[in-house]
Structure 1
Amino acid sequence: MKNINDSLSSLSKRIVTSPTIKLTSKVKSLLECGEDVISLGTGEPSFEVPSEVKDELVRALRRNETGYTEVEGTENLRLSISKKFKRDYSISYDTDQIIVSNGSKQVVYNALLALIDPGDEVVVPVPYWGSYPEMVKLVGGEPKYVYCDADLDFSLSSESLKKVISPKTKCILLNFPNNPSGSLLSKETVTALTEILNEYPRIILISDEIYQDIHFAEERPCSIASQSPELYSRTLTVSGVSKSYSMAGFRIGYAGGPKSLIKAMVKLQGHTTANPCSLSQAASIAALNECDEFILRNNEIYKKRLNNFLSAVKPAKGLKCIKPRGAFYVFISCRELIGAKTQQGNIIKDDIDFSMYLLDCFRLAVVPGSAFGVKNHFRVSMSISDSLLVEAASRLVKACSRLEK
């Protein structure tokens, strides 16, 4: 019998494993061996699920809400999402313009599956979340990268966007507040982007705004679909409960957008996973309706952690930190340390080498920038306790001081 690997599809061989999953797996192995590892790699909030959510989850179980629901999510949850979009994003979506899926990743994938034909191009700003290019490939599309300037805090410029748009461009996949950089789109930037997009009325926008609630400025980040009727008519606004409400394991993502696109996504979801977990949906209603204070309180904690961390790593040799304006990450340049030698005599050739050096020698886990399309950077997550974050900063400073250049 031939090896099963010979039977695997060419597509499955083209797709790369998520670098964050690889890192998590190695960190887990070290922890199981009793190693004192501090992980700054996770994209999962450290806060407990709100008590209102826990209580509603139990009540839903006692009400025996354990059967199938509508494929697109329950009417009550979609109504709560509609109110959330209107209240916080200033976008009006009726319930038949909303879909609920098994996490925001499935929402984005469903949208690409509904929109992209083989050979279509999808513009992906860099840095990007690692799954975006792979999802584009999975549906037969071609990712087309537009590089955001680090000197502009990784914001997307209209000039850069226009250069990569071609007759094959079908979609632009945006993620602001951005993972990993924490960059936001200002109203001025969106206005400039709108002028460019008006020249290309066929292009659809998928705006992944999963970190929309997590920001460090007084003004809420700009939600693209709220800026003009023209953008509203061709934008899918994606969000979920994983980040804002610390409900990563509940696997509830959602989106609002054009009715025809939502209908196509529902049809596709009906033949794959069908509805999301009924109990998770019930719990998410409580989150959306009752937990605004939870978000505000946690934003203050993130802000404090961020300021303390940036102060603590300031003495680190060869690092350059851009202060994020949203999400809960810091994207750090280690470019000046490339070519440095470790005490073991190894040369740091790139961000992956630097990340492995931190893990192997200082038991500090970060995500290399290459996972997000940007070399010689690494991502740090603020989703650990204050004390661990201080210790992590100390290890980072020490690690940099031990390198010879």
Structure 2
Amino acid sequence: MTDRATRLREQGVDVISLSVGEPDFATPPHVVEAAKAALDNGETKYTPVGGTSRLKQAAALHFARDLGIEVPVSQVTVSAGGKQAIFHALLATISEGDEVIVPAPWWVSYPEIVRFAGGKVVPLMTAAKDNFRFTAADLEAQIGPRTQWLLLNSPGNPTGACYPAEMLESIGEALRHHPRIMVLSDDIYAPLNYTGQPHATLANLCPDLADRILTVSGVSKSHAMTGFRIGVAAGPEWLIRAMEKLQSHSSGNPCSISQAAAVAAFEGPEDFLTEWRERFRTRRDMVVGAINAVPGLSTPSPDGAFYCMVDAAPLMARFGDDMKLALHLLDNGVAIVPASAFGGRGGFRISFAADEARLEEACRRIAGAVA
């Protein structure tokens, strides 16, 4: 959908793209300066496959300070974006036919990575009435003899769902009865939490399970560094070594310049995040109010990230399916992503990582398109 919108804009069509998941803010100046300094200093050679020791130390600081997870650098690895860390973790551990429980709606790459590794996706469906969160009982109902992983994303893409500490603790208790199951905790959106409560993550709340939890983070969302392609992961040392072995034969080390910039991101000031969160919260409230005012559309207010998952089920009799609705909205100048891309149905995802004026106009176009 993003590519379609780009092609239309290149043809001179005015399209507002709410399909891409990246902050519209500029990368913080101190991060940009660190990248420039790395170039000036000639830091343009190979680095260790799993990242420089400096960045691993900075990432360990981030995990401890921001996520409450104390890990030695031997249990930290650096990848070319968080997606690569997830890919290598699953590829290193899934055998043909192993099952992976993936809450839905899910981030689009989760099921594709599982299938590539030879695994079977076991959907764990969630609903808007539950703020797109599953319970420990829901999880137990999906566990089978070949369950290998649970994928957990909080705050989530595409729903913005955040799991509070008490829910994660109950999920951890359920997992104690199934010692073979590993958990991939994708915390990339942790800094973008609007609940007023501290971010909760499973490895911190259930330290006895830490030897089978991989926590993935990075700088893409927190520092508007999507193009730098740096992800970090913390987990059991045997898994980290296996991931790095795969990385050595796939991409090699992450970009040396990006690694220097990521050090500055993790070690530098983060006061800008307060303003970013408030801007995102304002945008969220505006979009939620505008969408819920359109007959046939509804969305809960997300607790984190910068997405709204919109239910358009009442319009499906008219449009047929959510892809046809998405193309209709594109014809009316707004690019979104249909819910079916995320394992959902009858709706679409809006990214509110766009300036307020464009969001307001986009919502006006959506209302007009479905009127």
Q: TM-score, normalised by structure 2?
A: 0.98
2:173, 2:224 → 1: CA distance? 37
Answer yes or no: is 1:396 the counterpart of 2:366: yes
Within 5 Å, give how 1:305-316 maps onto structure 2: 305-316=283-294
For the residues of structure 2 that align with 1:364 and 1:173, how far apart are their CA atoms? 31
Aligned pair partner of 1:103 in 53, 65, 81:
81
Partner residue of 2:276 out of 295, 298, 301:
298
Q: Name the structure 1 match of 2:130.
A: 152
- Residue 166 in 1 paired to residue 136 in 2? no
Secondary structure of the 1:65 match is coil
Larger radius of gyration, structure 1 or 2?
A: 1
Query: Structure 1: how far apart are the matches of 2:28 and 2:220?
Result: 12
Once the 2 structures are TM-superposed, how far is the Cα of residue 234 of structure 1 from its aligned partner? 1.1
Give the distance between the partners of 1:149 and 1:380, measured in 2 at CA.
Answer: 17
Deviation at 1:221, TM superposition (A): 2.4
Map 1:185-334 → 2, pairs under 5 A = 185-334=163-312
Tell me the matched-pair count.
Answer: 371
- For residues 191-242 of structure 1, the C-alpha deviation after alignment (integer angstroms, 9 at most, x for no partner) is 2111211110111111111111111111122111101222222100001111
Report what 1:184 is aligned to.
162
* Contact kept in structure 1, 2:287 and 2:359, CA below 8 Å: yes
Distance, in Å, in 2 between the alignment partners of 1:389 and 1:117 is: 44
The answer to whether structure 1 residue 364 and structure 2 residue 342 are counterparts is no
Report SS of the residue matched to 1:163.
Answer: helix
Query: What's the CA shift for 1:129?
Result: 0.5
Q: Residue type of the partner of 1:284?
A: A
| Alpha-carbon displacement from aligned partner over 1:44-84 (angstroms, at most 9, x marks no partner) | 11111110011111111111000000111001101011011
1:382 aligns with 2:352: yes
**Residue identity opposite 2:148 in structure 1:** K
* Distance in 1 of aligned mates of 2:206 and 2:168: 10
Q: Deviations over 1:166-213 (max 9, x none)?
A: 110111111111100000111111121112111101111111111111
Q: CA deviation at 1:163?
A: 1.1
Instruction: Identify which range, 306-315 or 182-191, moves more after superposition.
Output: 306-315
| Pairing 1:80–2:79 present | no
Q: Distance in 2 between matches of 1:314 and 1:127?
A: 20
What do the CA deviations read for 1:130-159 (whole angstroms, capped 9, x no partner)? 111110111111111111132101111111
Provide the rounded CA distance (Å) in 2 between the counterparts of 1:147 and 1:234. Answer: 24
Q: Which amino acid aligns with 2:339?
A: G
Identity fraction in percent: 40
SS in structure 2 of the partner of residue 242 of structure 1: coil
| 1:336 has 2:306 as partner | no
In the alignment, the residues of structure 1 paired with residue 90 and residue 272 of structure 2 have an alpha-carbon distance, to the nearest angstrom, of 32
Output the amino acid matched with 2:327: M
Moved over 3 A (4+): none
Distance, in Å, in 2 between the alignment partners of 1:267 and 1:151 is: 43
User: What is the rounded CA distance, in whole Å, between the counterparts of 1:164 and 1:322 in structure 2?
Assistant: 25
Q: Distance in 2 between matches of 1:393 and 1:271?
A: 46
Contact 1:123 1:169 in 2 (8 A): yes
Write the letter of the residue equivalent to 2:358: L
Q: Distance in 1 between matches of 2:193 and 2:6?
A: 30
Give yes or no for contact 1:316–1:398 (8 Å, CA) kept in 2: no
Query: Contact between 1:213 and 1:220, CA under 8 Å: does it hold in 2?
Result: no
Residue in 1 that maps onto 2:343: 373
Q: How far apart are 1:383 and its partner, in Å?
A: 1.1
User: How far, CA to CA, are the matches of 2:299 and 2:115 in structure 1?
Assistant: 32
Cross-structure match for 2:100: 122
Secondary structure (helix, strand or coil) at the match of 1:292 reads coil
Letter in 2 for 1:336: P
**What is the distance in 1 between the residues matched to 2:167 and 2:39?**
46
Structure 1 residues 22-55: Cα deviation after superposition (integer angstroms, max 9, x where no partner): x111111100110010111011111111100111
Q: Secondary structure at the match of 2:169?
A: helix
Q: 1:245–1:294: 8 Å Cα contact kept in structure 2?
A: no
Q: Secondary structure at the match of 1:123?
A: strand
Equivalences for 1:27-46 in 2 at 5 Å?
A: 27-46=5-24
Offset at 1:291? 3.5
The question of 1:350 aligning with 2:350 is answered no
- C-alpha distance in structure 2 between counterparts of 1:349 and 1:311, whole Å: 26
Give the CA RMSD over aligned residues.
1.0
Structure 1 residues without counterparts, runs of 5 or longer: 1-22, 341-347
Residue of structure 2 equivalent to 1:26:
4
